[in-house]
């Protein structure tokens, strides 16, 4: 019998629309003439789901445990007897009731598939066995109903039903997922925006990996060896050198240009370990690879280009990044093409990026004036050309010698001297001139094979020849000196520009200057000191070694360790010292600015406080003064009722003044950091009930939904009560007359949340953070509301207890204040730790 096909609709969370999509597909297939039945659908009381099931035939559930609410399960026997083309089975990971034939619903589905019945089912990402621990880290909940990975991977078709997390929250708030009494609990626990975003990403990544595996299987089955660029995979070849950091960052940027790009770093080692790089360098680069979101690999191979290309093809890489060759042209001619050229030839369809690392391999070093104008390498090359070229030219001229060839012989040797002078400078040229002059006299001037010159004119010609060689060598040497001076000036300008830029940037300017100085003057270390205090170091300064000290203003000294600094370089060092002094001054000013910043904020609060006092203290003070003055007046006779009313007015006004002064004192303690906090394990209900009593609030005004069996919170009972009183007073004040404030608590991921929700006008989402600013009433001009310190104090008190206070929009309208505090450990756990 032909096996049925399994099609699974995968979702990131409940409510994304999996069941609706399954029913919609079932109705479409039924309209196309397929025999479709409902094996099992979980509507969870949602009318829209129930409406979608009406046109389809429903197989009644089998009662496994009579009298139990969850005692009815999918009737597999009836489905086998009915044998439709397609069965719609919801919630694939569901655990069947005790007494069922199979423990899990996916096992029931397997029975239907073996019978030739195709199945369309649904499952959430949280139910996949291999992702169980990852989901627990995200949501804080342990998922007991799981499905083996091989079941889902064995499905003929897996589709993701995707929904934006914000849209999912709106559906939850609208009652499309849970009943109204479960909305707040859902939002405060599982249905958090961060949780939903992470679960959505996990779902898409899981499906992408499955698609990638399917693509590899398809290519293997069909013998396709080429790379299909379904997604960018960038392989970076590492050698363990310092410049590999540049290659890794370049590869990471290339991978980031496309969605889902991958970064792979590979280091090739020889079987005999002859090319092993520094273990420390490779470990540092491995850490950088992981920081960039890539993976590190190490392969063994004697043929580096072949090993790199084989690894790239095995990884389905689309691009390969490696550094340019360090070898010179002569080495390339003698030993063949380098790694880059070989990789380019063998890479095929893989794009190869060869990055020029000349600027990263060498540090910035100032050219030295000490020594000759030309380098020792060039002088050695000049001597080599003279020693090799002289005999070769002599042999050629002897072979071609004739009576009239002396002039051409002299010009040929002159050409050799010019070449030597251009390459090696004056001393190799003088050597070539003397050597060629002696050769001319010995082998080409009569009498031959002697150093005797028979005619004076020939002596003059040879002398003139040597003089020309000396002059040409001198011109070349001077040109080289001027070229070096120009490079020196350019390097000094670059150094000064870098120094000035470091000072202007301010951040790390001193360290940047020290590092640049050490590199520029090829020093082993640089240290900046102020007396016995070390302000900064670069390299490895060793006090035992000799060093040069440069004063930096009147407060610091720049110590240079390593090679001696030439007198010509002291001028540049004095400029660096001036810039270091400016950088130190900039650092001091920045420190002063940071110290002044809080003072400016304090002054701003003081100004706001004085402004508020002029408005909010005037009314109760004036009312109390008027009441007391009236009672003390002998000109008026007050009735008992009038006297009682005046006393009540005075008491109310003085109470208002007392509350205002208390808030002001609390603000002062918060700003001074002098808030006394005593953290204790506190049961939420032990704080909520006194807060309600203080405000004289009852069931008609507040709806309580406390988690009575939840853990205690770590808080200061007095401060937490003050916070709840402030929040409840605001919520009751802004709630409509017939709407009750909802106060709920929940435990999630080691944190206890206390949520106070109202159905009032709410706050613009863009201004939710502004309500915690002191003296801020968001346009409320009613002076009866106080100084606008309530929420600022509540936030300060909550943060002082190690928690957070946040404002959210209540689903359906209104404002929800969320107090989050650490949950206390159970007593038994405290005793064992």
Question: What are the φ and ψ backbone dihedral angles of 623, each rounded to 5 degrees?
Answer: -65, -45
Q: Which range is least confidently modeled, 139-153, 281-295, 329-343, 392-406?
A: 329-343
Q: Which range is least confidently modeled, 66-75, 122-131, 152-161, 648-657?
A: 66-75
Q: What is the Cα–Cα distance from 18 to 161, expressed in whole angstroms?
A: 6
| pLDDT tens readout for residues 585-624 | 878 887 887 777 666 655 654 555 555 555 556 667 777 7
The alpha carbon dihedral of 61, 65, 66, 69 has a sign of: negative
| pLDDT tens readout for residues 363-377 | 445 555 444 556 677
- The answer to whether 324 touches 355, Cβ cutoff 8 Å, is yes
Q: What is the Cα–Cα distance from 305 to 301, expressed in whole angstroms?
A: 9
Confidence of residue 398 (pLDDT cuts 50, 70, 90): confident
Confidence of residue 831 (pLDDT cuts 50, 70, 90): very low
More confident position, 518 or 784: 518
Q: What is the Cα–Cα distance from 71 to 116, expressed in whole angstroms?
A: 27
Residue 789 has pLDDT above 60, yes or no: no
- The answer to whether 761 touches 784, Cβ cutoff 8 Å, is no
Radius of gyration of the chain (CA): 43
| pLDDT tens readout for residues 741-756 | 989 888 776 788 898 9
Q: Which range is least confidently modeled, 217-221, 368-372, 488-492, 826-830?
A: 368-372
| pLDDT tens readout for residues 670-702 | 555 555 677 889 999 999 998 898 888 888 899
Q: What is the Cα–Cα distance from 138 to 656, expressed in whole angstroms?
A: 47
In the block, tokens 């509350």 appear at 659
Which residues fall within 8 angstroms of residue 91, CB to CB, at 6 or more apart? 40, 42, 105, 121, 122, 123
pLDDT at residue 783, as a whole number: 39
**Minimal CA–CA distance to 675: which of 804, 800, 822?**
800
| pLDDT tens readout for residues 40-60 | 998 887 888 888 988 889 999
pLDDT at residue 782, as a whole number: 43
Confidence of residue 425 (pLDDT cuts 50, 70, 90): confident
Query: If you average pLDDT over residues 269-297, what whole number do you get?
Result: 73
Strands of 61-111 (E only): list them.
Answer: 62-63, 72-73, 86-89
Which residues fall within 8 angstroms of residue 53, CB to CB, at 6 or more apart? 23, 38, 41, 43
pLDDT at residue 219, as a whole number: 57
pLDDT at residue 648, as a whole number: 83
pLDDT at residue 24, as a whole number: 92
Confidence of residue 32 (pLDDT cuts 50, 70, 90): very high
Q: Which of 201-215, 271-285, 439-453, 741-755 has the highest mean pLDDT?
A: 741-755
- The answer to whether 235 touches 317, Cβ cutoff 8 Å, is yes
In the block, tokens 């391999």 appear at 361
pLDDT at residue 696, as a whole number: 87
Q: What is the Cα–Cα distance from 613 to 640, expressed in whole angstroms?
A: 34
- Tell me what the pLDDT averaged over the chain comes to: 77
Residue 186 has pLDDT above 80, yes or no: no
Question: What are the φ and ψ backbone dihedral angles of 590, each rounded to 5 degrees?
Answer: -65, -40
Cα angle for residues 429, 430, 431 (degrees, 5° grid):
90
3-state secondary structure 484-511: HHHHHHHHHHHHHHHHHHHHHHCCCHHH
Q: What is the DSSP string of 236-272?
A: EEE-SSTTHHHHHHHHHHHHHTSTT-EEEEEEEE-TT
Structure tokens at 671: 């700003």
Task: List the strands of the sheet with 804-809, edge to edge.
Answer: 702-705, 741-748, 751-757, 815-822, 804-809
Q: What is the DSSP string of 353-397?
A: EEE--HHHHS---PPP-SS-SS-HHHHHHHHHHHHHHHHHHHHHH
Query: If you average pLDDT over residues 694-721, what whole number do you get?
Result: 86
More confident position, 291 or 218: 291
Tell me how far CA of residue 747 lies from CA of 140, 195, 743, 751, 816, in angstroms. Answer: 10, 15, 14, 6, 17
Confidence of residue 231 (pLDDT cuts 50, 70, 90): low
| pLDDT tens readout for residues 462-478 | 677 777 767 776 777 77
Strands of 43-130 (E only): list them.
Answer: 57-58, 62-63, 72-73, 86-89, 118-124
Q: What is the Cα–Cα distance from 158 to 120, expressed in whole angstroms?
A: 10
First vs last C-alpha separation in the chain: 61
Question: What are the φ and ψ backbone dihedral angles of 89, each rounded to 5 degrees?
Answer: -125, 115
Q: What is the Cα–Cα distance from 487 to 464, expressed in whole angstroms?
A: 35
Q: What is the DSSP string of 40-62?
A: E---TT-HHHHHHHTTSEEPPPE
pLDDT at residue 446, as a whole number: 72
More confident position, 232 or 816: 816
pLDDT at residue 370, as a whole number: 45
């Amino acid at each position: 019998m032909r096996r049925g096909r399994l099609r699974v609709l995968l979702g990131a969370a409940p409510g994304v629309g999996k069941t609706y999509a399954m029913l919609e597909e079932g109705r479409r297939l039924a309209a196309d003439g397929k025999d479709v039945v409902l094996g099992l659908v979980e509507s969870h009381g949602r009318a829209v789901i129930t409406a979608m099931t009406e046109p389809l035939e429903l197989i009644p559930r089998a009662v496994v445990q009579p009298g139990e609410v969850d005692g009815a399960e999918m009737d597999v026997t009836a489905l086998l007897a009915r044998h439709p083309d397609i069965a719609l089975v919801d919630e694939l990971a569901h655990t069947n009731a005790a007494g069922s034939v199979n423990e899990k619903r996916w096992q029931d589905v397997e029975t239907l598939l073996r019978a030739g019945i195709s199945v369309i089912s649904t499952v959430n990402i949280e139910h996949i066995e291999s992702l169980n621990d990852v989901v627990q880290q995200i949501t804080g909940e342990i998922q007991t109903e799981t499905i083996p990975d091989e079941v889902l991977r064995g499905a003929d078709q897996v589709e993701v039903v995707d929904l934006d997390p914000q849209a999912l929250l709106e559906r939850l708030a609208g009652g499309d997922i849970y009943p109204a009494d479960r909305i707040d609990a859902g939002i405060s626990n599982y249905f958090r925006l961060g949780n939903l975003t992470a679960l959505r990403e996990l779902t898409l990544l899981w499906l992408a990996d499955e698609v990638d595996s399917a693509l590899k299987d398809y290519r293997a089955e069909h013998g396709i060896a080429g790379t299909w660029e379904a997604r960018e995979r960038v392989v970076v070849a590492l050698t363990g050198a310092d410049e590999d950091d540049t290659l890794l960052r370049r590869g990471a940027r290339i991978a980031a240009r496309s969605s889902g790009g991958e970064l792979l770093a590979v280091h090739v080692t020889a079987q005999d370990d002859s090319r092993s790089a520094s273990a420390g360098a490779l470990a540092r680069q491995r850490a950088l690879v992981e920081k960039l979101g890539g993976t590190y690999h190490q392969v063994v191979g004697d043929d580096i280009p072949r090993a790199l290309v084989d690894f790239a093809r095995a990884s389905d890489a689309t691009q390969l990044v490696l550094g340019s060759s360090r070898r010179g042209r002569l080495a390339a001619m003698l030993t063949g093409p380098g790694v880059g050229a070989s990789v380019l030839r063998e890479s095929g369809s893989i794009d190869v990026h060869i990055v020029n690392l000349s600027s990263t391999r060498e540090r910035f070093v100032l050219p030295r004036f000490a020594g000759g104008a030309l380098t020792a390498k060039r002088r050695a090359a000049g001597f080599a050309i003279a020693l090799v070229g002289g005999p070769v030219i002599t042999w050629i001229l002897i072979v071609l010698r004739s009576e009239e060839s002396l002039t051409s012989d002299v010009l040929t040797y002159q050409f050799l001297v010019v070449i030597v002078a251009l390459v090696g400078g004056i001393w190799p040229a003088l050597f070539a001139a003397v050597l060629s002059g002696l050769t001319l006299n010995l082998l080409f001037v009569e009498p031959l094979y002697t150093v005797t010159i028979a005619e004076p004119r020939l002596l003059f010609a040879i002398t003139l020849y040597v003089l020309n060689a000396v002059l040409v060598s001198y011109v070349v040497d001077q040109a080289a000196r001027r070229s070096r001076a120009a490079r020196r000036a350019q390097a000094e300008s670059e150094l000064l520009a870098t120094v000035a830029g470091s000072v202007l940037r301010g951040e790390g300017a001193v360290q940047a200057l020290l590092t640049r100085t050490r590199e520029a003057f090829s020093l082993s270390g640089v240290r900046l000191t102020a007396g016995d205090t070390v302000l900064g170091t670069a390299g490895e300064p060793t006090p035992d070694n000799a060093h040069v000290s440069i004063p930096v203003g009147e407060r610091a000294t720049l110590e240079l360790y390593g090679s001696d600094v030439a007198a010509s370089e002291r001028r540049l060092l004095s400029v660096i010292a001036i810039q270091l002094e400016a950088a130190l001054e900039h650092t001091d000013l920045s420190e002063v600015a940071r110290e002044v910043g809080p003072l400016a904020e304090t002054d701003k609060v003081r100004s706001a406080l004085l402004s508020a006092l002029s408005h909010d203290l005037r009314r109760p003070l004036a009312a109390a003064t008027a009441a007391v003055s009236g009672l003390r007046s002998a000109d008026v006779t007050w009735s008992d009722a009038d006297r009682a009313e005046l006393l009540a007015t005075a008491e109310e006004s003085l109470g208002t003044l007392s509350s205002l002064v208390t808030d002001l004192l609390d603000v002062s303690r918060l700003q001074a950091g002098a808030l006394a906090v005593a953290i204790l394990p506190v049961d939420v209900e032990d704080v909520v009930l006194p807060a309600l009593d203080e405000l004289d609030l009852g069931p008609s005004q507040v709806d309580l939904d406390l988690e009575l069996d939840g853990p205690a919170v770590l808080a200061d009972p007095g401060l937490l009560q003050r916070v709840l009183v402030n929040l409840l007073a605001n919520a009751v004040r802004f709630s409509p007359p017939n709407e009750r404030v909802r106060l709920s608590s929940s435990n999630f991921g080691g944190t206890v949340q206390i949520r106070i929700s109202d159905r009032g006008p709410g706050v613009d989402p863009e201004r939710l953070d502004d309500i915690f600013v002191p003296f801020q009433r968001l346009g409320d001009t009613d002076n009866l509301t106080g100084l606008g310190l309530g929420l600022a104090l509540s936030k300060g008190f909550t943060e002082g207890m190690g928690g957070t206070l946040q404002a959210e929009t209540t689903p359906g309208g209104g404002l929800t204040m969320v107090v989050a505090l650490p949950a206390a450990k159970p007593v038994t756990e405290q005793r064992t730790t």
